[in-house]
Amino acid sequence: MSRQYFGTDGIRGCTNKDPMTADVAMRVGQAAGAYFKRGLHRHRVLIGKDTRLSGYMVESALMAGFTSVGMDVVLVGPLPTPGVALLTRSMRADLGVMISASHNPFSDNGIKLFGPNGYKLSEEEEKAIEEAIDQPPLLAAPADIGRARRIDDAQGRYIHAVKSSFPESLRLDKLRLVLDCANGAAYQVAPTVLWELGAEVITLGVAPNGLNINDHCGSTDPSALQKKVLETRADLGIALDGDADRVIIVDEKGEIVDGDQIMALIATSAQKRNLLKGNTTVATVMSNLGLERYLSKLGIQLLRTQVGDRHVVEAMRAGGYTVGGEQSGHIILSYHTTTGDGLVAALQVLADLVQSDKKASELLHVFDPFPQLLKNVRYSSGQPLEDESVCEAISEAEESLKGKGRLLIRKSGTEPLIRVMAEAEDPDLVHQIVDHICETVRRAA
């Protein structure tokens, strides 16, 4: 069955265009609500969102859908995606929903679903819900229609859980930190966590207006953070994305530290503390070869998955592994969370920074990465990767990289983009290959 609604991370698209319309959101609520109504208890769904203007519309539509099939709704307002996952489990909800398009611009929105265990739904569960979206809904009897209420302490519960992931014996008193919340879901909770742990916190991206989420800020554009770190002589900069499930670090020299370096540091620390189950770290095919070689020297296996934090989590659960993530900054620590949590990952870095008595630039340059280049080619229609000229260019590139590096080409699961990535010890070869394939794809598209 072709997937009309669900992509690599829930349902996502431009607001008021299919599938991100109020009508579809209501039908998703009806389909998901009916699917998770199991047993005789009163059923409950928890709904959170980021700061996009369209969140009001999608929230109301979902609420109508869920209540119409007899499910009670708990609204928590703006809260990071990992907070929704956490509260879904701790409040014994049957289902959790996060309304967010993560790092995408404000014009997009999305619907992420979590099961009662706090994990994102499996592909089989998404398929079952997808099949029901276009079917007549199983509406409740008038007396069984669900109720809705808002709770005021959701942020406090999440703040407490995040702080619990930080060693009780440590404080951040001596650190000056710059925090960029991307005008997104963590704009209130993240500064509070760092301040309560004792840090001096300088904030960016904490004035959401519905339209400025991820707008020249956050983990996908840390240039303002880099500038502010240097300007204020901060010890470290932290950039979250719109729903705060990913993090990028900036050291005291203004240099960007990506998810691979963060994973390397956390995996090293976890191994020392006997928290690295199976001596394995899970990452995607996008992670740098330098990470793989570094971990190998420590006796740590790097298990690669498809792109997408859900695939990382699935591999971690299947193998019982505890540390995984993506180069983009999704870091999953199963001894703390069920999904990527940018704030929890940042606290693990800060704990090591406090204990090491090193500068961030020393601590976070864990390995020397292979030269790697990623470029995106936007297309409007068709299947450019099936074009004969593109296939030929890819074949030639793979031959020239044989034994020297890697080539990865894939369609984005959330945007009409072809992603072209190559890495090798020779940076000139990397640029030559990526530029040639991108130009060939553009012509074919």
Which residues are catalytically annotated? Answer: 102
Partners of 420 in the β-ladder: 375, 409
CA distances from 106 to 101, 180, 187, 232 (A): 8, 17, 15, 29
Which residues pair with residue 354 across a beta bridge?
none
Distance of alpha carbon 242 from alpha carbon 9, whole angstroms: 14
Instruction: Give 417's contacts (C-beta < 8 A, 6+ positions apart).
Output: 376, 377, 378, 379, 411
Q: Are strands 331-333 and 323-325 parallel, antiparallel or unpaired?
A: antiparallel
CB neighbourhood size of 383 (10 A) = 11
DSSP state of 399: H
What token pair was written down for 390?
């593109």
Per the structure block, which two tokens stand in for 225? 């953070």
DSSP type of residue 397: H
d(CA 388, CA 215): 38
Amino acid at 51: T
Residues 201 and 186: their CA atoms lie apart, in Å, by 14
Angle at 434 between CA 428 and CA 435, to 5 degrees: 90
Closest CA to 370 of 289, 284, 285, 301: 289
**Tokens at residue 54, please?**
């369209």
Region for residue 129 given its phi and psi (left: phi exceeds 0; alpha: psi -120 to 50; beta: otherwise): alpha
The single-letter DSSP state of residue 17 is S
The two tokens of residue 178 are: 């710059």
The answer to whether 291 and 305 have CB atoms below 8 angstroms apart is no
* CA 250 from centre of chain: 18
Tell me how far CA of residue 288 lies from CA of 246, 277, 326, 329, 400, in angstroms.
Answer: 18, 22, 10, 13, 19
